[in-house]
Amino acid sequence: MDILKVLGVIAAFFAVPSAANAGGFDGSQPLICASMEAYDCGPGEDCLRGTAESIDAPLFIRLDFEQKMARATRANGEERTTKIENLTQEEGKLILQGVQRGLGWSMTIAQENGAMTLTAAGDRMAFVIFGACTPL
């Protein structure tokens, strides 16, 4: 096999995964997301950096797009369920929004690689969580 054919096969191999991966992060199949880094913020103070556990946020979030539900598991094992009120795709991102216990939340998942950013805001408080999602 000549070098141009080998390079063509290699280029095709690396070009396909990005298109295939996008299918996993487009709302067509359930995902599980893991929280990695978290921030707890309030007006007039520095944001506290820590883990999801340190701010009592969920460690894992399961997303069921068929039922439009998000199921979160906290470090203590407690599970909470909330409805996904809005779901849209824009500029290579899957964007979800909802409300739970007085907090408005928004989650953005990069369709290329599953990188996740979750924000939640309430009365004079805000949380930002960074993590990653993968298809179930």
Q: CA gyration radius for the chain?
A: 18
pLDDT score at 61: 95
Average pLDDT over residues 47-71: 93
Is the pLDDT higher at 75 or at 8? 75
pLDDT score at 35: 94
Question: What's the pLDDT tens digit per position in 71-119?
Answer: 998 878 889 999 999 999 999 999 999 998 889 999 999 999 999 999 9
Architecture of domain 3-135: Beta Barrel (2.40)
Query: What are the counts of helices (DSSP H) followed by strands (DSSP E) for the chain?
Result: 1, 10
Is the pLDDT higher at 15 or at 122? 122
First-to-last C-alpha distance (Å) of the chain: 39
- Extents of the domains making up the chain: 3-135
pLDDT at 18 over 80: no
Q: CB of 83 within 8 A of CB of 98?
A: yes
Residue count of the chain: 136
